[in-house]
Structure 1
């Protein structure tokens, strides 16, 4: 079982010049909810979990060794 925080934790933003990235670490209760979904979340779904972010962030991957970490990215204009 992954080690989960008690609240949602947001990483600092980082960039590769094309995208801005951040990862979001979920508490155990939220991780249990998404583990049943088995796919990437839509913006409406991750916002429904209480995750905050400006418009345009996309859930593009899970951190496979720790699936309670959502990886988000946003295209740089």
Structure 2
């Protein structure tokens, strides 16, 4: 694990009735690797050092702060 990977911040998880969410804050050095014109696939975000369990989808960009990645995954059926 690189020093930059150690600086990645993972939020607590939060939910609505359909999804579980979390946001990930990248250090500037890693944020430079985020594609500007598209959302990342799981292999792409893992490739820049983001580590989380399977099933998370990079679903939105926070335009004013492109170093913040927004993820969600479906909640299991009740």
CA shift for structure 1 position 41: 0.2
Normalized against structure 1, the TM-score is what?
0.85
Within the alignment, does 1:76 sit opposite 2:75 as a pair? yes
Task: Report the secondary structure of 1:34's partner residue.
Answer: coil
Select the structure of larger CA radius of gyration: 2
**Equivalent runs, 1:1-77 vs 2, <5 Å:** 7-35=7-35, 37-77=36-76
Following TM superposition, the consecutive aligned residue runs of length 4 or more in structure 1 with deviations greater than 3 angstroms are: none
Aligned residues: 71
1:12-43, Cα deviation, whole Å (9 max, x unpaired): 100002100000001111111114x4210000
CA distance in 1, matches of 2:52, 2:33: 20
Q: Determine the C-alpha separation between the residues in 2 that align with 1:31 and 1:70.
A: 9
Other-structure match for 1:3: none
Structure 1 unaligned residues grouped into runs of 5+: 1-5
TM-score by length of 2: 0.84
Aligned-residue RMSD, C-alpha: 1.4
